[in-house]
Chain A
């Protein structure tokens, strides 16, 4: 991992603290989360303290510090989705998968996340599994989705 990390970090000028967020984004894209080791190496490379790296990364909702599951389910909780009761969908996933939002199922198959708005408001409510957007969702459709990705 550390060599791959080094390889990513060489794209950013040493000591350029303004590259902190893009560096975190690249690291997360490659490893799907930001590990303690990644934080250490980013801090060393950009010459900022580790606590500053954590401070910035934890401020933004994009960054994860836990390894995510095989599939990520994102439930959109934007306004249009909310008025079409996306809270019910989130609750359905929480109950069915026995996991709370922001975490991964015990079998490592699904991570459950929420997004503030996915910008597909006209097709609300929206659920995104990995990179696939599913519009006009219902509980019954959600059940089918889990079957599709769970097998």
Chain B
């Protein structure tokens, strides 16, 4: 077997040259999230300083470090000095850093988040001791925000494709054995043991066999796969090759959301690099293994996250699921044995085959080994992308890593597992995050979206939100899901409108059980979860809507009114913004809202900087 040694040597030299670079370097986190926060303007500011002021500096676009709440984030390497990570960098701030730190000798500690590479600096913690990172174990994300995702050398220099080389030296059965020893379970949500799926597919007669990477990530509130593919595409691709070799596949498909254009672009670049290096095609690295990869863009259907629906979509049909068995591992794409793995699962595989199964298995709990990435969003202080050992508690994630609830509000609930998951209240904050514990609490692990809610979020509204999502995304094939979710939605709407009765609550609960039990696929089977968990943990809030015609969180429009308090300074901003013309008053005098014209859209509430508008 040929190895990548020569190429890796060259890559190591590239990487070392970078570390010994005598010019200052600026790394800008420019994944989609960084770009949304203005990263490209920061890059332009550095380029401009280089052009106009002749500043000798290298700029590199990297992926997301996970500190999304502080984006854009920039790492500045000044030769011979500690590397410093800065947050909330706008073009003027960037110019200031260039001026004060690179041209002068002031490290701009007021803008600094952490130091990088283990160096210490007064008052600034090293990266791994930053409160957001301390509890994390970054195996999957180790390259994200560190390497240039378009530079193949960077991935190789950091141990890339060693896992594949190790795998190709073993018989495929042994690769499966390694994955078994690691304890890896599918990170797409259901947590099925990865090795068992592979073995099933390997043992089934039939060829060709296929491996599909499910990068559809349709869960609203989840962005782990996007960040990983944008920041380190090769780690997933390497895992895909290893999986393909293990199951005896000759072709792989990446099914990715069209809503992720940058991730698609990064994958295309990476695939062409692989082709050039002999990592795709006939006899990969002169072994007996031949394999190729094709990208298929999804077209916006949540149900395509469901294995059998995803297969239908690749085949060019409507993405409708079919009953199982036969499982895709037996009869999948075009009737051939097919394994479908999530992005994170495959990235974990490349780690496991490189560092050995024990390095993975020593993290996590006995039932849930290794790490899991989560996207932490909603009303938490530090939002972002994290990777933690399984078994960590929700409290540690939300309060230690996330820094607690934003704006000093009270924690109300955390939604885990997206639309298929559930809302857990404060009494469940000490639940360990693993498949079984979350299921016991009525929620699920899911792909890893965590959305935190505070006391201004209404439990009924959240249940309604998720159900309207799953109802709209139901493919319509089976009646429990098609009709049942619609009927449940109507009940939730009547609760929000204040026209429901207590009997409706019972009907809602029993319908939820029926839809759960009777639906064909995972979408319908889990669609009632947000309703069931909110009914279980926030029943009094439902009752307040029904009995007292009151929305305690002040969200459901039919049950609330807006009022302007004496704090009003008469700045007129709300009156100018109100789409209904419902606010009136003299400049510099207290304004009033006409309740008959007010539609409770909340535009005034957002706009008022004096907190003079209250909801009753």
Contact = CB atoms under 8 A, between A and B. Distances in A.
B68 A123 contact: yes
Which residue among A21, A119, A139 has the maximum number of chain B CB atoms within 10 Å of its CB? A119
B379 A83 contact: yes
Interface string A114-136: 01111111111010000101111
B302 A116 contact: yes
Nearest to A60: B299
A58 B254 CA distance: 23
Contacts of A49: none
B218 interface: yes
Given A17-B316, A21-B316, A88-B602, A62 B258 contact: yes
Contact of A117 (B219, B298, B379, B607): B219
Nearest to B296: A22
B318 interface: yes
Nearest to B301: A60
B221 A80 contact: yes
B465 A123 contact: no
Contacts, number: 163
B382 to A, nearest CB: 9
A59 B301 contact: yes
A56 B259 contact: no
B453 A83 contact: yes
Contacts of B36: 120, 123, 126, 133-135
A138 B606 contact: yes
Interface in B170-198: none
A55 interface: yes
B375 A122 contact: yes
Interface stretch (A1-9, A91-99, A102-110): A91-99
Nearest to A121: B377
A143 interface: yes
Interface of A: 17-22, 24-25, 55-56, 59-63, 77-85, 88, 91-92, 95-96, 115-124, 126, 131, 133-136, 138-140, 143
Given A20-B316, A79-B220, A92 B601 contact: yes
Contacts of B223: 117, 119-122
Given A56-B318, A124-B377, A115 B259 contact: yes
A123 B33 contact: yes
B384 interface: yes
B375 A92 contact: no
Contacts of A139: 577, 603, 606-607
B555 to A, nearest CB: 9
B453 A62 contact: no
Interface of B: 32-33, 35-37, 68-69, 71, 217-223, 226-227, 258-261, 296-302, 313-319, 375-379, 383-385, 415, 418-419, 449, 451, 453, 457, 462, 465-466, 469, 473, 475, 573, 577, 579, 601-603, 606-607
A79 B451 contact: yes
24 contacts: A59-B319, A79-B377, A79-B449, A80-B383, A81-B220, A91-B579, A91-B601, A115-B259, A116-B302, A117-B219, A117-B223, A118-B259, A119-B223, A121-B449, A121-B451, A122-B223, A122-B376, A122-B384, A123-B71, A133-B32, A133-B36, A134-B36, A135-B36, A143-B577
A92 B579 contact: yes
A63 B259 CA distance: 13
B606 A140 contact: yes
A15 to B, nearest CB: 12
B68 A116 contact: no
B217 A119 contact: yes
A25 B298 CA distance: 10
Given A80-B221, A121-B221, 7 more contacts: A22-B296, A25-B297, A59-B301, A60-B299, A119-B260, A121-B451, A123-B383
Contact of B579 (A25, A96, A120): A96
A122 B220 contact: no
B299 A117 contact: no
A82 B299 CA distance: 22
Contacts of B226: 119
B603 A116 contact: no
Contacts of B314: 18
Contacts of A123: 33, 36-37, 68, 71, 383
A143 B259 CA distance: 25
B476 to A, nearest CB: 9
Contacts of B601: 88, 91-92, 95
Contacts of B378: 79-80, 83-84, 121, 124
B607 A138 contact: yes
Contacts of A118: 32, 259
A116 B218 contact: yes
